[in-house]
Structure 1
Amino acid sequence: GGIIVILGIAVTVIYNVITRQTSDNLKQCLSTYNDDLSLGEEILVPGSKTPNKSDGVKAISSCDYVNGVKLLEQSRANQKNDPETLIYLNNARIEAHKTKAYTIAVLAPLSGNHDNRNSGLEILRGVAQAQDEVNQDKKNTLISLRVLIGNDKNDVNQGKKLAEDIGKKDDILGVIGHATSDVTVAVADTYKQNKLVLVSPMSTADELSTKSNTEANFFFRTISSDRVTAQALTSYLLNSARKQKAAVYYNPNSSYSSSLKNQFITDFSASGGNFIEFDLSTFLFSATNTIKQAQKQGISTLVLLPDSTTRTKAIEVIKANSPRYLIIGGDSVYHSDILKMGAQDAVGLVVAIPWHNS
């Protein structure tokens, strides 16, 4: 029982070394607010305020970095899982100690629905840990790492605005982000035009592969593309499960979901597989009716390739199946909601993911 993981891909961290001047300490107090960008002058993560954190941020915005450090250290002691506090703390230490530093930006969804915030916070935690390790390394006494945080709200227009704003800052060496393929696809060219390296930890759309194979390469990612996932799904269906027919569920309005669906049906068809498609985003979607349609065509395999906005529809399919047919899914199905809401109906679900904490 349980969920079977069929794809293991080691995550390779890409270090892009750029020769550029380090920035001196901030020339003036930080005074730009409500722009969804912050080095420590305002709190961007909803629900993460503590009295010490709020006071620490207020001190930083007034250039009182010594007190800012003390207050953020106290907040950090009581809220160790808050990556925003750790980043602001390290930024404040740079200013308090007048250390030279390189500056990078991290852009992620930090507000909105539960999925958005969780994805954004996971990205932020990785960056916060890396910054802290660099700045606390006793062998590295000359240069520190400053991090600018941006909230893209998982919104294409917001992502474009932030990318343009960051492109105007001459001290930013590179950007880590964004979470979803939709936003990353929309902003990648803006970073390239400004000669800013973009490293995405989560965007898998195969469309982005063309951006990482050009002569002037400014896009990298630390996760496999949808092509790899599609190949794993196809191989499992044809070689392990011995299934030649499949019903494919996806969201045509999502870059990620469409990319994975297109890669899958290309590989599956080329290997002799037959399929029908169902749009998870339609208002009148009925999981029960789609399963009946698949059954009439002799299909006994359901392939779930939702994005985060249609994951609940995928759960409806899992519960409607209850469980009769084999269900396999892409990495977006590897989610706690599937286990909580799908419950016993999710037993036997097979997912293709790039990494699994075993």
Structure 2
Amino acid sequence: MSQEPVSAVALTHQAIRSRESEPARARELLCAALAEDREYEPAWRWLAEVVTDDAERRFCLERAYRLTTDPATDRALKALRRVEGRPPAEVGHLVEPPRPGATARPRTSRFGPRRWVAVGLAALVLSGAVGVWSASGGEGGEPVHVALVAGLTGPGAVNSAHVERSLRMRLDEVNDAGGVQGHPVELLVYDDADRPDKARGIAEEIVREGRVLFVVGHGTSDTALAAAPVYRAAGIPAITPTASSPRITDHNDWYFRSMFGNRTQSDFLAVYAARVLGARTAAIAYADDESGQSAHEGFVTSFGAFGTVTAELPISDASLDGTVDALTRQDPAAPIVLAADEAHGAEVVERLREAGVTAPILGTASMGTQAFHDTLLAAERERGRPGLFTADLFLGTPLAPDSLSGPALVWAKDFEQRYGERPLWPAATARQALNVGLHAMRTGGLDYGRNRTDDRRRIRDALLSLKDKKNSFPALLGPLYFNPTGSAQMSVSFVTSDGTRLVSAPVQLTIYEPPSDEALRKGLANGTVVAVADRYLTRRQVVATGINLNEVRDLDSRDGTYFVDFFLWLKYTGDHVASDVTFVNAVKPDLKLGTPLRDVTEDGHTYRLYRVADRFKNSFDFRSFPFDRQHLDVLLQNRTRTADQVVYVTDKEILNQSPEDYLRSGTNAEADINAIPNWQAESARFFQRTVGSSDALGDALATGAATGVYYSQYTAEVQVARDVVPFLVKNLLPLILLIGVTYLSLFFKANDGAAPVSMGVTAILSTAVLLNNVTSQLPSVSYTVALEWGYYAFIFLAATCVLIAMLRKRLVSKGHTDAERTLTRTARIAYPAYVLAIVLTYVVAFT
């Protein structure tokens, strides 16, 4: 038998097999796996499962989450938010050592023992005060500064407002959590009004002020190009969230882009027009600015590999009539590409459609916003002709609203709750720009003020290190890393109109990173891979997915299982492999969809409806028990096709419903989905995410950043909360009686010391029994749940009453009656105050 190869993957598999029988051996194997590859996320995640110390567990979870943005890891980290991470001793050598500090020669102390006790007590009080101050949001470090430069009063003011809101929202979260390395982060906002001359002046002002560590901005290609030489000369890193011209980042390793650039966008538009729409000719109309011109140049070059660009027309106020007239004379079936801002783009679309042009229209990301779509919808309503302007419209965007991942969906909801409107895509790319800059600050080894020039260089170097998927940053829209010219390596999503909102087009393209030369040759030969410019693209099937929950029941908190009954429908074009799905968290590993209740295919569009009723499982967290909220998930993904081939997005029928409707049963509209006694269904949400591993998975031919396998996963998540009031009434009534009885022990005479002592000891023992009964319904956990702290607090209180009874008797026997009366009065007042403080603490923490 061949020996199993020694690799991080193999060692991790060995650890998983032995973790139940030999936990110490599993821990040793996982540490060995990390010694082989410290960036192997599954090893960190499994090590977090086998360590027994919460501080070590948090450290491992932080490392895992830094490598892969996983909602389950995020929830586990939130449960340990009050714990300071500490690396397990076995992986201490993988952690960057601290910088050496100044050392001083030892001196002989002149303090006696009493003075040392006094100093120790003072230090204890001081450290406690510092701890309370820190817990209440105090920040010890000097503030550090990040600049935002955007056209807050320019033509793109709406987008810029979303960018600023997104950054302020994120920095509030960062500073509430203690800032970056203990330093609060302050945002300095500058308005360049989308004017290049003003942009350069602001860049020079930022350099003169000398406070900023990095810049988020500018908002347009023209303003970013004007400011780029200034930042480069001063050594200040900048990250633009919205400017798409490749000339901004070309030959400038101080400027980065947190979205795709126009070269990538042009490649996607060309392949979409040629291979998805089947066009041999196309026309392009472009704005007469840097963004429009670079998009025009890129599209002409990219489409030249597939056909002919028959018209290249500028868009401006002066040329608009001539441009529209020329476009109406083009081949009526040939697609028209528009590279313009929202206002000009909307006017061109309206005038073309009113002139009878029915050709498909493709738009760049500058038009791929809900605001642009709303403008066209308003024009349709005004004319009373639905679909006149929005039909056959395909818009590129970094953010398709129906395919948000779990974290992005939460962010979008929080943004809407805070600002009263859904975020536009620039808000998402701006958050990515800020987050990747903060990530560079955390990982770059900064001095924070002692040498700002070096700190900026370290941030730049940390950004440059994000060079492939394996060395990526887990950002809002997926793994973020930069291509050699400084743009985020990400695909362009295409959205179209459903008459109400923008939704993902049924066919998408994605960047293809070949795992091997043989796979690339085969893909090019069979047409599944398309070569364009210096990249490869492949077609991705989009499956509009809907889940209508019927019932959730039979929750077993000890083994983390539950029963879910639901309808599932899939809508797609293309072959039926899209409906070959597996439920990755089903109790039965072979659970299948079975025969569809409905199966309709018309004009290449398929609709399939299924009903699924079975048991599923999830990892529950009981740290807040009995105030805990649990997530009952149903996770599905394709059995054979990866995320490059098929992606599951939320169907418009789900998007059109209100969140309250998600909790109504699909089989009985008068009933809700919850059939779990003593639990309440609070919310349901549906989202997609990409899961997988960047490891080679044993493929000896896999090379570079393209290794690993990733799948599109669709999640239905029901959040349930325990019905706390009946639970507390049932389980805390005996404890309340014990609290009252123990309080009575303080009213006995001091000479009757035996009775209060007996009452206190009995209360302690009874409380231990009650606690065991309450927690017996929980699985074996290695942490203290919320309710246990209340019981421990009472045990401490009862033990204190015993000590007070003994002390009172001794004081009386020694003749210190005044001291005994003072102690008694103090205890009788402090007892209810202590109980009230504990109750208030629970109220504040869990309501």
Shorter-chain TM-score tier = 0.5 to 0.7
| Aligned residue in 1 for 2:802 | none
Q: 2:278 aligns with which of 203, 220, 242?
A: 242
Q: 1:108 aligns with which of 136, 150, 165?
A: 150
| Aligned residues of 1:211 and 1:219 also touching (Cα < 8 A) | no
Q: Which amino acid aligns with 1:108?
A: A
The answer to whether 1:356 aligns with 2:397 is no
The CA deviation string for residues 138-177 of structure 1, in whole angstroms up to 9 with x for no partner, is 5868311111111111111111111000011222211111
Q: CA deviation at 1:308?
A: 4.6
Runs of 4+ aligned structure 1 residues displaced above 4 Å come to 96-99, 138-141
| Aligned residues of 2:270 and 2:302 also touching (Cα < 8 A) | yes
| Aligned residue in 2 for 1:255 | 290
The CA deviation string for residues 22-70 of structure 1, in whole angstroms up to 9 with x for no partner, is xxxxxxxxxxxxxxxxxxxxxxxxxxxxxxxxxxxxxxxxxxxxxxxxx
| Aligned residue in 2 for 1:185 | 225
Using the alignment, how far apart are the partners of 1:140 and 1:305 within structure 2? 39
Using the alignment, how far apart are the partners of 2:140 and 2:261 within structure 1? 41
**Which has the larger displacement, 273-282 or 236-245?**
273-282
Using the alignment, how far apart are the partners of 1:123 and 1:202 within structure 2? 9
Q: Which amino acid aligns with 1:127?
A: L
The answer to whether 1:148 aligns with 2:192 is no
Q: CA deviation at 1:100?
A: 1.2
Using the alignment, how far apart are the partners of 1:109 and 1:165 within structure 2? 16
The answer to whether 1:195 aligns with 2:229 is no
Using the alignment, how far apart are the partners of 2:374 and 2:220 within structure 1? 22
Q: 1:163 aligns with which of 195, 203, 224?
A: 203
Change (3 A) 1:121 1:325: same
Change (3 A) 1:315 1:339: farther
Q: 1:290 aligns with which of 312, 321, 326?
A: 326
| Aligned residue in 2 for 1:333 | 367
Q: CA deviation at 1:262?
A: 0.6
Using the alignment, how far apart are the partners of 2:179 and 2:215 within structure 1? 25
The answer to whether 1:123 aligns with 2:150 is no
| Aligned residues of 1:247 and 1:299 also touching (Cα < 8 A) | no
The CA deviation string for residues 295-327 of structure 1, in whole angstroms up to 9 with x for no partner, is 4xx763211111356334423444335452121
Structure whose CA Rg is larger: 2
- So what's the TM-score if we normalise by structure 1? 0.65
Q: 2:390 aligns with which of 338, 341, 346?
A: 346
How many matched pairs?
Answer: 258
Structure 1: runs of 5+ lacking an equivalent? 1-11, 14-93
Change (3 A) 1:230 1:140: closer
Root-mean-square deviation (CA), in Å?
2.7
Change (3 A) 1:266 1:129: same
Change (3 A) 1:250 1:138: closer
SS in 2 for 1:247: strand
| Aligned residue in 1 for 2:337 | 303
| Aligned residue in 2 for 1:277 | 312
- So what's the TM-score if we normalise by structure 2? 0.29
The answer to whether 1:231 aligns with 2:231 is no
Using the alignment, how far apart are the partners of 2:211 and 2:180 within structure 1? 20
| More strand per residue | 2
Using the alignment, how far apart are the partners of 2:324 and 2:254 within structure 1? 45
Q: CA deviation at 1:284?
A: 4.7
Q: Which amino acid aligns with 2:273?
A: L
SS in 2 for 1:279: strand
Q: CA deviation at 1:180?
A: 0.8
Whose RCO is larger (CA < 8 A, sep 6+)?
1
| Aligned residues of 2:368 and 2:395 also touching (Cα < 8 A) | yes
Q: CA deviation at 1:125?
A: 1.6
Q: 1:268 aligns with which of 303, 322, 335?
A: 303
Using the alignment, how far apart are the partners of 1:207 and 1:288 within structure 2? 29
| Aligned residues of 1:111 and 1:117 also touching (Cα < 8 A) | yes
Using the alignment, how far apart are the partners of 1:312 and 1:162 within structure 2? 31
Q: Which amino acid aligns with 2:270?
A: T
Q: Which amino acid aligns with 1:244?
A: R
Structure 2: runs of 5+ lacking an equivalent? 1-67, 70-136, 381-386, 403-847
Provide the identity percentage.
20
SS in 2 for 1:165: helix
Using the alignment, how far apart are the partners of 1:200 and 1:141 within structure 2? 24
Q: CA deviation at 1:185?
A: 0.9
SS in 1 for 2:401: coil
| Aligned residues of 1:191 and 1:218 also touching (Cα < 8 A) | yes
SS in 1 for 2:316: coil
Change (3 A) 1:317 1:268: farther
